Amino acid sequence: MSKKVRRIGVMTSGGDSPGMNAAIRAVVRTCAYYHSECVGYYRGFQGMIQGESVNMNARSVRNIVNQGGTILQSARSKEFMTKEGRAKAAQNLRDAEVDGMILIGGDGTFRGGQVFSQEHGIPVIGVPGTIDNDIFGTHYTIGYDTALNTVVEAIDKIRDTASSHNRLFFVEVMGRDAGFIALNTGIGAGAEEILIPEEDLGLERLLDSLERSRRAGKTSSIVVVSEGDKTGKNVFELAEYVKQNLPYYDARVTVLGHIQRGGRPSCFDRVLASRLSVKAVELLLDGKKDLMVGMKNNEIKSCSLDQALKGKHNINKDLLRISEILST
């Protein structure tokens, strides 16, 4: 029989994402609802190692559902990758009588949490929070929808100036290993081409497509480039390459960068964070461990952390076809 869970810890780790605060709020309030204690750890695993924590109650999380970032702050901890670091963290949790942890973050967070739980027998439940949407076991991660809206709004503005000057813009968006942001914003913002890590369309194809656009009478164009794309060139080199091969194009580059990670969470992300986090606490209280919660077809589900880490959330390749048709 697993030990009764009385006191639950919560932390946010890895790249922050809009909606993490809504997730923290939901964890804390669900604990209060079920008369369990809740303790927040600062800066992810690093705060667990250093024992930097705060007791939280329902009122500790007032007025944060609408805020970007994370009130518990976030970090990527090198020390937690060592056995000694994890042992320190486990001792701190035992001293604080924490019976289980809710980990809000991405795959790096879940990988750390899984090893930690196996080594020290402290149950963990993962809540997927990353703008990249690259987690298996959920169709959506917290922050992805807000990031999409931020990017589309930015590209709409770039489109205004691109068309005023008859220019070609390369817009780099986040997504080190996954093209979800590029693909969906590319379609949403009406880009001519979309370059993603999952598919190497080749430089020749890019030139052909831009050449075709020009011949079709387009006077300005937008190419959305995922930071992890497979052309082997960064976005500035790409723009240079196109200028050299198609000199009639007046090309510019915009790197959207970390603005994609900030801002007020969309309603979708707030609701998603709330639903996932209520479920995460309920699973822990129910004696479950080493699971990740996710949303599939609008239903909240869970899978093992192992599955979440081994599986791959694939992009919908049909969107590439749609993009090609619509950029005619």
**Which residues are known to be catalytic?**
132
Residue 84 tokens, joined? 């000694």
Does residue 198 interact with ligand F6P by CB under 6 A?
A: no
Out of 21, 92, 117, 130, name the contact with ligand F6P by CB under 6 A: 130
**Which of 56, 101, 45, 54 is closest to 291 using CA atoms?**
101
Out of 100, 175, 197, 294, name the contact with ligand F6P by CB under 6 A: 175
Does residue 15 interact with ligand F6P by CB under 6 A?
A: yes
Helices (H), the chain: 20-33, 45-50, 83-95, 107-120, 144-165, 180-188, 203-215, 235-245, 267-285, 305-310, 318-326
Which residue has the CB atom at the shortest distance from ligand F6P? 15
Least distance from ligand F6P to the Cβ atom of residue 311, Å:
18
Least distance from ligand F6P to the Cβ atom of residue 57, Å:
30
Q: Which helix (H) or strand (E) holds 59?
A: none
As annotated, the binding site includes 15, 25-29, 76-77, 106-109, 130-132, 159, 167, 174-176, 190-192, 218-220, 227, 252, 258-261
Query: What Cα–Cα distance (Å) separates residue 206 from each residue in 55, 203, 230, 237, 245?
Result: 54, 5, 12, 14, 11
- 170-181 b/e (C-beta count within 10 Å ≥ 16 → b): bbbbbbeebbbb
Residues 241-270 close enough to bind ligand F6P by CB under 6 A: 261
Residue 203 one-letter amino acid: L
Least distance from ligand F6P to the Cβ atom of residue 174, Å:
4
* Residue with smaller CB distance to ligand F6P, 117 or 146: 146
Does residue 100 interact with ligand F6P by CB under 6 A?
A: no
**Which of 99, 123, 138, 162 is closest to 19 using CA atoms?**
138
Does residue 78 interact with ligand F6P by CB under 6 A?
A: no
Out of 38, 151, 174, 292, name the contact with ligand F6P by CB under 6 A: 174
Backbone angles phi, psi at 34, to 5 degrees: -95, 15
* Residue with smaller CB distance to ligand F6P, 3 or 176: 176
* Residue with smaller CB distance to ligand F6P, 176 or 317: 176
CB 281 within 8 A of CB 8: yes
* Residue with smaller CB distance to ligand F6P, 142 or 168: 142
Binding site for ligand F6P (CB under 6 A): 15, 130-132, 174-176, 227, 261
